[in-house]
Amino acid sequence: MKRRLMACTAGVALGAAFGINAAAAADLLYAPGEDSRFNWDSYQAYADSHDLGGEQVTILGPWLGPDQDAFDTVLAYFGEAANVDVRYTGSDSMEQQIVVDAEAGSAPNVAVFPQPGLAADLAKRGFLTPLGADAEAWMKDNYAAGQSWVDLGSYKGKDGSKTFYAFPYKADVKSLVWYVPENFEDAGYEVPSTMEELKALTEQIVADGGTPWCIGLGSGAATGWPATDWVEDMMLRTQPADVYDQWVTNELPFNDPKVVGAIEEFGWFARNDDFVAGGAGAVASTDFRDSPKGMFSSPPQCYLHHQASFIPAFFPEGTEVGLDADFFYFPAYAEKDLGSPVLGAGTLFAITKDSPAAHAFIEFLETPIAHELWMSLEGGGFLTPLKSVNKEVYVTETRKALGDILFNATTFRFDGSDLMPGGVGAGSFWTGMVDYVGGKPAQEVADSIQTSWDALK
């Protein structure tokens, strides 16, 4: 499934140096060796040790459009290096399709899971192939906060034992605060590096006559979900990561004091009329897509906005991230000494139909070149925690800065609501947060969410 992307006159000489023919070099976006930013040694070493003799490998994933174009670029190099016929199918109903295919015995060799919960369910049913101890050890040693990523891809199999089944590749970052640098400069504010400093800045903005935060939970039928990100971030900043893990599986009840405390940490920001544009009463009714716009008014209606890396899509047209708007890491408490946790999301690759080419593909994902290629492309917003990549390859300075947050994380945890049962994570958790910003006590809200979880058991 190679795509002719760019022919290069230098490809003949460079292709010979790297053991491929001129025609193959012309099929690749960068002829191996032509751009010194990339780790071509990793590509050549992989090619030298893999030859699958034209074996076909099928991959099902969620990517379409520009995302698929970017992934196709990576696959072209895998196909060339390993002598594999790669067939990728993108689907916007991938989650439903992979279950149907697995149950029918017609699964692809590899599936790309946007949510670990589905992968865990298929592993428990015996539909996934373990990736092996070597892959697990590699990830622990080579990804920043490596154990976090191993944990993300490890599930109980049909026999009840926990095994590394899914390879995390392509991450997203949620632990961000957005601001307008010009507003900060005009007011004399500095970017906070701890939660204590962020709270102090919040109070300082009020003392100076401004409003610190724009917060909106509105999202149609999904109203309330932005608050779940706040609570998840607060759980990681008030409790150790293992407590977070217990919470998302309900080993720690939702109405435990630790969880109630995290909800109230969110409330410190969201339930104070002085802290939020429009007052606390406007939080639930303000659409999350509209909420950051107050940062760009003159004078600013707010100075800060907590949201994931996708939110610039809803900034005023023409806004340039890094100039007109920027972000900083949603900081941890210095006094709690819990490191630098990062909340995010991402995709995981699992073998759903075992074959040598499927394992060869997972091994390709261990090479820096498999990450650097997508890092260099616009499509898909690729971020990676792989420590051996050249971060200068990132297509923009913004992407590089986001990558640095991921790279500097001491703990990475997947969006908690996505790991919970749908009736909770995409149900009572959402509505409970709306009730909470509306004035209902945190304990009462947490009790109600726990009741909904109990009803699912």
Q: What does the pLDDT read at residue 457? A: 82
**Which residues in the chain come in under a pLDDT of 50?**
1-26
The proportion of the chain whose per-residue pLDDT surpasses 70, expressed as a percent, equals: 94
Burial of 9 (0-12, 13-18, 19+ CB in 10 A): exposed
Please write the tens of the pLDDT for every residue from 140-150.
999 999 999 99
Per-residue pLDDT tens digits for 277-313:
999 999 999 999 999 999 999 999 999 999 999 999 9
Write down the pLDDT at residue 8.
Answer: 32
How far apart are the C-alpha atoms of 367 and 371, rounded to whole Å?
7
How confident is the model at residue 252, as a pLDDT? 98
**Domains identified in the chain and CATH numbers:** 37-173+344-414 (3.40.190.10), 176-342+417-456 (3.40.190.10)
pLDDT given for residue 7 in this prediction: 27
Residue type, 101: D
pLDDT at 438: 97
What is the reported pTM? 0.91
